[in-house]
Amino acid sequence: MAETANSGDAPFDLDKLKQLVEMMESHGLTEVHLRRGDEQWRLRRGPEVVQVPQQYAPAPVQMAAAPAPAASSAAPAAAPAADAGLIDIKSPTVGTFYAAPSPGEPAFVSVGSVVTPETIVCLLEAMKVFNQIPAEVSGTITAILVKSGDAIEFGQPLFRVKP
């Protein structure tokens, strides 16, 4: 979304706008606000970012190394058959997972929730910025694979959805 306030009725400088968008993409920026005199440019791309007040921000969590999984012959063979046809909602970034908008509030989704591509399923916090994560698929949540406060890696499955 681009908002521009400009003195007079001068047309937008589309070349400058294109350059700014390209710079945002190349540097991974989601929002830019520039002001010079009476001219003001505000560009925002990607999902809307939600800032959570400091009193709701959780304390940092120290993660211990996970123990090596024990070998099992029956479980791995059964798991793929049970997951056949399910879609994973994966993390688009690294960060801390939050199932609810703030402490004490209900989770965005739970097992059995019906989601659309626009449905917000969780928040991921990175560097004190809380990003809303949309489902990007339609279906029913069959499993929540992480819990609030978990450290999340890029591409890590967060939810399973039955289309």
> What digits encode the pLDDT tens for the residues 121-132?
999 998 888 899
pLDDT interval class at 75 (50, 70, 90): very low
Q: What percent of the chain has pLDDT over 90?
A: 40
pTM, entire model: 0.51
CA 123/CA 131 separation, integer angstroms: 5
pLDDT interval class at 10 (50, 70, 90): low
| 89 and 39 part of one domain | no
Q: What angle do CA 137, 108, 147 make, to 5 degrees?
A: 95
Q: How many domains does the chain have?
A: 2
Q: Which two tokens stand for residue 75?
A: 């479980």
Residue 75 lies in a domain: no
Residue range of the domain that includes 140 = 49-59+85-162
Q: Looking at residue 103, what is its pLDDT?
A: 86
| 99 and 38 part of one domain | no
Q: What is the mean pLDDT of residues 7-31?
A: 73
Residue 77 lies in a domain: no
| 120 and 153 part of one domain | yes
Q: CA 161 → CA 19, 27, 124, 155, distances in Å?
A: 39, 32, 19, 16
Which residue shows structure tokens 């399923």?
A: 121
Which CATH number characterizes residue 119's domain? 2.40.50.100
| 147 and 119 part of one domain | yes
Give the pairing of strands 31-36 and 2-5. unpaired
| 39 and 92 part of one domain | no
| 54 and 11 part of one domain | no
Residue 79 lies in a domain: no
| 95 and 158 part of one domain | yes
Q: What angle do CA 100, 135, 33 make, to 5 degrees?
A: 80
Which residue shows structure tokens 């009476």?
A: 38
